[in-house]
Chains A and B, each alone.
Chain A
């Protein structure tokens, strides 16, 4: 059964310096509070994996938690660049960042292979692109039945996957719905997992289209209401698009960012 923990306990117990960590979420249900806890606990030398690193990854990179990034699209959706990510790549601030770059289809299939216990996944992709020249986790395979040349991508198995969901029950079974992205695959691909949830309820009522992760497939669950803000949790709160727009100016300048970081993240947040 999954252990019910506080967010601070979950991060302290499950994430070590140097780990490969995936905080997954595709615009929806992004585990922002967990990312901030990683910053507060001063994790270093993390390799961060995510299809769509967004502002919480920008914050982790700017705070000096990451030495590597495995990703497919790193931007502030509909707004522009991630300036802390750019500063790390273009100027090595606060430290250099190793990039391992894929397409969305490749990353999604890498997690699916990881969840399936396979060493690689096969897809039609990357052909003719320069991504092939810079990413060692892509290769060509020949179909044993037709002789066709296809693309192989290496499985991705994070040390820890962290996701946010709407609900869990007291035993730690997790339920999420709406845009469910690649969270199920990312969690099942990981050696350890932490799920932050809006609420822990006595019993999960079935919902159309919802994903349920059984308690025995999850390492730990922490109740963190609002833990996905400024992203959103469908049926709980909406995406704070203004916060995403405001991030552009905050993140452009190192001093402004550091000031934001100490005021917003580093000063302990009292949680009810």
Chain B
């Protein structure tokens, strides 16, 4: 099957990152689409956990919000919001946190708070939500963002959620328990932290993407790991599952 879009490539790649994981703390939007695709493709037993308190949700359609009724009625358990953060996230029980970002810097720090100065913001963004503790406490973190120069910036205007802070050793100094962002999946390729410097480095480009274009769309001098991989194309099965999932998502909360 050909004729897939850059967004479909991104979502399929993000879903593959969940193969072999037991549990995923899911943010809304692109991460939720990818996590639900993973359950329909390579990770059928993956436990989806949403910050609204739903554990092991198996939504039949994509939720619009993280608190849609569909997530509750298809869950193994529904717990209170304090419980989801204190008992389930905080001790480091959850394998992977899946986050989006308005800004992401070379060390994987995330801004979802403001663009510009905090007191006089150019753009007021929604804020932190669950992200600071997801980024701190999940065993590993993956970030899904569309690759734009205004998004992948040299330095975030506001550190909402910590990646590698200002570089090697910073997470340990802060006492953060999780490993931090191990994967950034965009619509152009995949970035991973360099083992020595923690700097996000291009490790794979999606088919047909010129690495120079990725450089142009990145707000820091992007390093490329050689040999640069090319992401495998979406399979027919992955594409069909993704299209079925998004076609079904006409909203609704799935009360039964």
Contacts and interface: CB of A to CB of B under 8 A. Distances in A.
B136 A104 contact: no
Contact of B67 (A28, A89, A235): A28
B170 A128 contact: yes
Interface string A229-261: 000101101110110100000000000000000
Contacts of A184: 80
Given A27-B67, A89-B121, A127 B73 contact: no
B64 A28 contact: no
A232 B64 CA distance: 13
B89 interface: yes
Most chain-B CB neighbours within 10 Å: which of A77, A82, A105, A244? A105
B66 A27 contact: yes
B118 A127 contact: no
A44 interface: no
Interface in B59-101: 63-69, 71-73, 78, 80-82, 85-86, 89-90
Nearest to A181: B81
B136 A125 contact: yes
A87 to B, nearest CB: 9
A129 B170 CA distance: 12
A109 B133 contact: no
Interface in B169-183: 170-171, 174-177
A220 interface: no
A123 B86 contact: yes
Interface string A113-148: 000000000011111111100100000000000001
A73 B51 CA distance: 12
Given A89-B124, A105-B85, A181 B53 contact: yes
B167 interface: no
Contacts of A244: 64-65
A104 B81 contact: yes
B171 to A, nearest CB: 8
Most chain-A CB neighbours within 10 Å: which of B69, B86, B137, B162? B69
Contacts of B159: 128-130
A149 B173 CA distance: 12
A241 B251 contact: yes
A26 B127 contact: no
A179 B67 contact: yes
B69 to A, nearest CB: 5
B211 interface: no
B84 to A, nearest CB: 8
Nearest to B54: A179
Given A28-B72, A105-B90, A234-B72, A74 B127 contact: yes
B82 A108 contact: yes
A182 B118 CA distance: 28
B52 interface: yes
Contact of A77 (B65, B123, B171): B65
B165 interface: yes
B118 A130 contact: yes
B26 to A, nearest CB: 13
B126 A81 contact: yes
A219 to B, nearest CB: 22
A130 B162 CA distance: 9
Contacts of A108: 81-82, 85-86
Interface of B: 28-29, 51-54, 63-69, 71-73, 78, 80-82, 85-86, 89-90, 113, 118, 121-133, 136-137, 158-162, 165, 170-171, 174-177, 251-255
18 contacts: A26-B81, A27-B65, A28-B67, A78-B65, A82-B126, A89-B121, A90-B122, A105-B85, A105-B132, A125-B132, A125-B136, A127-B176, A130-B160, A178-B78, A179-B78, A182-B80, A234-B253, A238-B253
